[in-house]
Structure 1
């Protein structure tokens, strides 16, 4: 009965439009009220302990760093480099857009920031070069998902905290799968553009790639500074987020001089408001998860699944299907905190590496970013591209199929996720 109250009230709250953090809290309080030996102190303790984590400081600072980069000229210079390097390739500006998202993802840490920063610049440019506006918006929304797949990723940090795995190992594990996703999107775009063969599709570029590289050298150095510091052991992932903020601030305000100092208080306030909503979700999710643990739902579910089959491939497919569905209506950070303690014990019993499963989980939920009815990246792309939501929703499904194909490749070839942690960190699972 407790399980029915917990999940029933949670899903009912979502259906009637209650914000996710409030829905999680309401469901937890109702379940606590039903269990006679529990007090409401459990919820308060879960809420506080959920956000009382040094690692979560990185969520706050990477969000601020992404905002500084988007408004300080860094994203524009990254786009210029991608344009000169890939603008003459098959699929031209579409390839540029996806590569620009890949570059920006390597320094932003969030999907929504990637969609906003790249979409504002690239969707109008794609339309000028004979791309359908809804198609262009769907492309940016899909490629924006790289923001959580490529390190440094806020979602990876939250999974690492929930699963008790190394943030550094998870960061390194995300590099190759992120590239696989990007290449899959590029191939799909090339195939589509060859069918479309429009007169205005070719690009006349001014300046060389070396000029663009020179102008963007400080922007391109940022992922080297941030990620290099982590992988070399000089700074922790949390400390690297502070490095990212300081670097972005100096470059944007004092080198490029495109971000006035008077705008900083508003940017910091906006970032704080955005992160506060995320932290409420995380805190409420911890209280929610503690009730799940008390009800022994993960253990019972694991025993039930293992009684049906011992094949890790079948179970992995079932988990992917669940995550793809959940990702369409549940915010990714909440899904990570709720589902990790449920699914991870099953996977580890079947011999699936927790870091590898983390990458699979993050990619599957990232696909939910662009899947109607609640795809956050889809709404962001529709907003920045001034595209009716129904139009962009109709054009997104082929992109989703392409990403699911890449997800299956990543899921069933663990080497793609584990090769870099094994080589550089000596990770052994």
Structure 2
């Protein structure tokens, strides 16, 4: 009965539009009050313990770095470089859209930051060149999901904390699947461009590539510093986040001089607000997970799943279905914190590596960002493009196909995500 109260109260609070953090903490409190075995103060202890984690220190710094990048004109430099690099292909701005997301992914680690920052620039440029609104919005939405897969990645950091997995290995595991997502989207861009006769932006010009690369060079060094710094063991993911924030501040405040004290104050306040929301969710989810564990829900769920089948591929497909449904209705960080303690033991019991499972989980939830009724990326793009939410959702549907194909490739071929971590970490 305690478990029933836990989940029923959670769903009721979410249905009443109570913020996720308060819904998680409130349902946990109600459950232990009904159980009567432990004092209510335990919930507060579990929440504090949940955020008392060294890797979580990276969250505010990555959020700050992404916000500075968006506010200092760095996104424009990235877009211009990507345009020079791949704009000469048919449907050039579509390829630029994807390429710019790959580069920006190595800076922000968040799909919403990509959609809100690069998305506004990309959609405006594509509209000027005569691209259809559905193509522009749909592709921008789909390409923004590359951000949380290619390192650094806020969702992977949260998953790593919840799963006690190596953040460095998770970052390494996301690199190849992220590039596969980009490649799949570019194939679809080429197909659309041929079908609709989209234009090339310019002929291939090595001097232009060199010029834009020179202009964007310092900006392009950000993902290099982050990714190679972590993979080569120069610093941890947390230290990389600090380095990224300091470097972004150096570029925006000293090199480009595009950030004033007033704008920096606003950036810092926005960072505090975003970080506070994330930490509240993580802390509340830690309390929720503790209740699940104390009531043996995770063990019982694992045993129930294993009675259905012990085939790891089928189990992963069932989990994929669960994650897809949840992703349609729940924000990514909340879904990770709630579902990791429940689903990960099932995967581990079948010999599925927690790192591989993490990539599968984040890929699933990224697709959820593109599906109504929640679809945060769709809401952001609807705002920056002045396209109705329903039209954004419809425009994004065809672009889910390449993302789902990559998801299944990662499920059926674990080496796609595990080869690089194995090579680097042994």
Q: 1: distance between equivalents of 2:349 and 2:213?
A: 48
Deviations 1:93-150 (A, max 9, x none): 1110011011101111111111111111110111112222233122111111112111
Q: Is the 8 A contact 2:114 2:147 kept in 1?
A: yes
Q: 1: distance between equivalents of 2:190 and 2:253?
A: 38
Shift of 1:63: 0.1
Shift of 1:152: 0.5
Find the residue that maps to 1:208 and give its secondary structure: helix
Q: 2: distance between equivalents of 1:283 and 1:35?
A: 21
Confirm or deny that 1:248 pairs with 2:235. no
Shift of 1:214: 0.8
Shift of 1:196: 1.3
Find the residue that maps to 2:179 and give its secondary structure: helix
Shift of 1:374: 0.4
* Equivalence for 1:203: 201
Q: Is the 8 A contact 2:329 2:373 kept in 1?
A: yes
Shift of 1:381: 1.0
* Equivalence for 2:423: 423
Q: 1: distance between equivalents of 2:78 and 2:261?
A: 22
TM-score (norm 2): 0.97
Q: 2: distance between equivalents of 1:97 and 1:308?
A: 43
* Equivalence for 1:282: 282
* Equivalence for 1:349: 349
Find the residue that maps to 2:372 and give its secondary structure: coil
Shift of 1:351: 1.4
Shift of 1:202: 2.8
* Equivalence for 1:379: 379
Q: 2: distance between equivalents of 1:115 and 1:271?
A: 17
Shift of 1:166: 0.8
RMSD value, Cα: 1.3
Q: 2: distance between equivalents of 1:301 and 1:409?
A: 26
Q: Is the 8 A contact 2:313 2:411 kept in 1?
A: no
* Equivalence for 1:226: 226
* Equivalence for 2:28: 28
Shift of 1:302: 0.9
Deviations 1:275-327 (A, max 9, x none): 11111111111101111111111111111111121111111100011111111
Q: Matches of residues 243-322 of structure 1 in structure 2 within 5 Å?
A: 243-322=243-322
Q: 1: distance between equivalents of 2:192 and 2:6?
A: 45
Q: 1: distance between equivalents of 2:319 and 2:152?
A: 25
* Equivalence for 1:51: 51
Q: Is the 8 A contact 1:285 1:338 kept in 2?
A: yes
* Equivalence for 2:216: 216
Q: Is the 8 A contact 1:135 1:392 kept in 2?
A: no
* Equivalence for 1:61: 61
Shift of 1:329: 1.0
* Equivalence for 2:405: 405
Shift of 1:223: 1.0
Deviations 1:355-378 (A, max 9, x none): 111100011111111111101111
Pairs aligned (count):
424
Q: Is the 8 A contact 1:371 1:400 kept in 2?
A: no
Q: Is the 8 A contact 1:181 1:403 kept in 2?
A: yes
Find the residue that maps to 1:225 and give its secondary structure: helix
* Equivalence for 2:128: 128
Which has the larger displacement, 3-12 or 148-157?
3-12
* Equivalence for 2:2: 2
Find the residue that maps to 2:370 and give its secondary structure: coil
Instruction: In structure 2, list runs of 5 or more residues that go unmatched.
Output: none
Q: Matches of residues 142-181 of structure 1 in structure 2 within 5 Å?
A: 142-181=142-181
* Equivalence for 2:74: 74
